[in-house]
Chain A
Amino acid sequence: MGRLARISTQQLVVLVYTLHFSATELLLPSSLARTGHSGGWLAPLLSFFLASFPVALMLGRLPGRLLTLLAGLFNLVLTALCLRDVVELIPVAILPATPPLAVAVPFIVVATYGAYCGAEVLARLSFFFVVTAIVILVLGITTLTELLSPYRLLPLWEQSPVQLFGAAWPTTGWYAESWSFFPLAAMTDQPQLVWKGLTLGALLAAFHLMCCTAMAIGVFGHELVANFAFPIFALFQQITIGEFVERLDVILISICLLGMLVKTAAHLWLAAGATGFGLGMANHRPLLPALGLVAVVLMWLIPNLPWLFIFSTTLWIPFSLGLGYGVPALLLAASWIRTRQGRQPNMQT
């Protein structure tokens, strides 16, 4: 990983929040509504308890024991997926005539610079994202509550609670990605607080996604939300203050762009770090441009938005869940064996 700058637990919280929330806000609400119907808004919280919380607990006990090429590949795929999310969203929302490459290339250049700056700089940047995201959520709640019908948020499930678990399936897979955050955990200045940082960041992200999804379902109804490609974007299009302040959806997109930049850069940084470690390199930075280029190529292989939706909400989930539970469990088992053998785990690895 090269020289490691330390990050505080608060920085870990905001970074984890950004990594969990920025992409889920764009892509998941329609999937939540499609399966969970009126109770779909509750699914992110369930996913948090199913995925983020146990993974955070397992990682928290052993911050950063092993960096593998698998983690590098996993993060590289995530970088490509984030990039594709941006490429799909930007032309729909604000720049309709801009070709995908004209969006992707500058974005990956800035993200590469972000990754070059390191996790500490990205954590500082994610503070901006967290503050603006919370401000816009409060604005959304205050201006859209009038349009919201609480009856549309009920019942929490129609047949049985299994429906809620079905709705939580994609979010659970996405939250299980937090196993790949362990290099961030290893950088934290107070290792004993790592699990709290990971948990709090993920919990905030889940709560925020829950609020956004609840607002979308409460206003549009789950039937319409399930058919929207970007329900939160459509929701924020309805904000109007005195017929004077309108078109806040563009601000939402700008904020999302910031979040996605942090997420993409963080995954690229994680990918470079893991690959560098796997290849035995002392400094991972020279890998960044090459990995950025590979991410663009991978992104280019994704055929279209419907495919991205299907991949992100179905195919990706078992893979992510398998790694999400498997890798920390393996690390935990290794740590337990070492402890049994009387050796202390190396917290700095």
Chain B
Amino acid sequence: MRRAAVLLLLLPLLTGCLSRLELNDLALVLALGIDLVEEGVYEITVGVAGPGAANAGDESDIRPARIILTERGSSFAGVLREIELRLPRRLNLTHTLVVFIGERLAEHGLGNTLDFILRAPEFRLQGLILLVRGGPVRTLLETEPLMESMQTRALMEIVQARIGLEIRLWEFFAARATTYRAPMVPVVELLETADIGQKGRQRYVTRLGGAAVLRGDRVVGYLNAHEVRAIKWLRGHGRDGVIIVPCGEEPGPEHASFRIIQADPRVRMHVQGNKPAFTVMLRGRLRVTEMQCARPIRDRQVHEQLIERAEAEVRDLVIRVIHKLQAAGVDPLMFGEQARALRPALWRTIGEENWGETWREVPVTVSVDLRLQTTGLMSDPLRS
């Protein structure tokens, strides 16, 4: 036993200190952006945590909380080396939270430009991937975020609050590696504004918008923020979404809102003729968050009418989004995956590469079953 213990103790000595990197020698990259300038020339932007990042709330600390560096070149490794020539520290990609893709690159075709992310051991693929629309990545990283010191951190927080679509790098690459599952990238929009940021006026604010759907390596369509809600439902992340429906007996300007507190999608596949067909069943539980009209929600008839409207709203949205995806011939969800897994013979007949074309004509039936779980701290609205 003593010898076994000696062997165990010897293990840590194997590490040595040849690869040591002191924290003081590192420039921690939090955001990485890549965009296309012209054919074969890329603009790479890195957002580095500055020396003032640790004391971001301290006004007396004049050191920058973030440093944005941009360089152009044809290869990522070469550009990084160029950036390091301007930095007194070594770039460290271990803590990269977000990878931004420029709109131009995404529409031109990513090719293998992101290969370095898969190859570099320091990337953990846990980071987010976002597509920037409305301006260059550098402008986005330079905007002043609300309540955070760095735009990257702010976007990360918004995504993680389950408000927007959350696509991790590994998910993106897993879809990209197939020919039948379309990769999807959430979109962050740069919007011109007259609002005042933390340190004076700024021209742009950022907003987490919809999502871009890719066929192969290039964007073939965009979904807006509203349509992304359907995607979230179908991906099983529908919780915390909001459904707004007309509240009055006849649809009018007054609305009732529900928060989704439980969302469960079920997709069943069956074969119609020689083609797959799908039935999507969405089940959910709702909480009333707002009643603008004076109708008693405890009344069974009112309650059922509002829930039916919510179901119709969700059903219409999901059908619209599925039709949009079918029209583009892309399947970023699990329909093709299910056909491949459950009906291999049929899948062979279709052919993996032809799924996009087949998907255009696949019948999809959507049913929605919502239940009211709670009315919040109020039962009926005042003066109902």
**A residues bordering B, Cβ < 8 Å?**
38, 91-99, 102-103, 106-107, 110, 113-114, 117, 121, 124-125, 128, 149-155, 157-159, 219-221, 223-224, 227-228, 234, 237-238, 240, 246-247, 249, 254, 257-258, 261
Contacts and interface: CB of A to CB of B under 8 A. Distances in A.
B14 interface: yes
B177 A227 contact: yes
Nearest to B18: A98
Contacts of A91: 19
Contacts of A154: 340-342
Given A220-B170, A221-B178, A238-B170, A257 B14 contact: yes
B16 A124 contact: no
Q: How large is the interface on B (under 10, 10 to 19, 20 to 34, 35 or more residues)?
A: 20 to 34
Contact of A113 (B10, B16, B177): B10
Contact of B19 (A98, A114, A150, A227): A98
Interface string B249-275: 000000000000000000000000000
Nearest to B156: A243
Interface stretch (B1-9, B23-31, B211-219, B320-328): B1-9
A317 B158 CA distance: 51
11 contacts: A94-B15, A106-B14, A110-B7, A121-B7, A223-B178, A224-B170, A224-B173, A227-B177, A234-B125, A238-B124, A246-B126
Contacts of B8: 125, 128, 258
Contacts of A153: 341
A257 B177 contact: no
A175 to B, nearest CB: 26
Contacts of B122: 96
Contacts of B6: 113
B337 A95 contact: no
Given A96-B19, A110-B11, A124-B4, A38 B174 contact: no
A246 B124 CA distance: 10
A125 B7 contact: yes
Contact of A224 (B13, B126, B174): B174
Interface in B332-362: 334, 337-338, 340-342, 344, 348
B121 interface: yes
B3 A117 contact: yes
The 7 A-B residue pairs with the shortest CB-CB distance, nearest first, are A154-B341, A223-B177, A95-B19, A151-B341, A155-B344, A124-B4, A224-B177
Given A110-B11, A149-B337, 7 more contacts: A38-B340, A95-B15, A96-B121, A107-B14, A220-B170, A237-B124, A254-B11
Contact of B16 (A98, A150, A228): A98
User: Secondary structure at chain A's binding surface: helix, strand, loop or mixed?
Assistant: helix
A102 B18 contact: yes
Given A128-B8, A151-B341, A221-B174, A103 B121 contact: no
B354 to A, nearest CB: 15
Contacts of B338: 151
A237 B13 contact: no
B192 to A, nearest CB: 33
Contacts of A114: 7
A115 to B, nearest CB: 10
B341 A155 contact: yes
Interface in B151-210: 170, 173-174, 177-178, 181
A153 B13 CA distance: 40
Nearest to B171: A147
A224 B170 CA distance: 9
A148 to B, nearest CB: 12
Contacts of A158: 344, 348
B352 to A, nearest CB: 10
A15 to B, nearest CB: 12
Nearest to B336: A151
B152 to A, nearest CB: 15
Given A113-B10, A227-B177, A219 B170 contact: yes
Nearest to B121: A92
A125 B18 contact: no
B125 A237 contact: yes
B72 to A, nearest CB: 26
Contacts of A117: 3-4, 7
B170 A149 contact: no
Contacts of A157: 344
A152 B341 contact: yes
A19 to B, nearest CB: 16
B14 A121 contact: no
Contacts of A220: 170, 173-174, 177
B16 A106 contact: yes
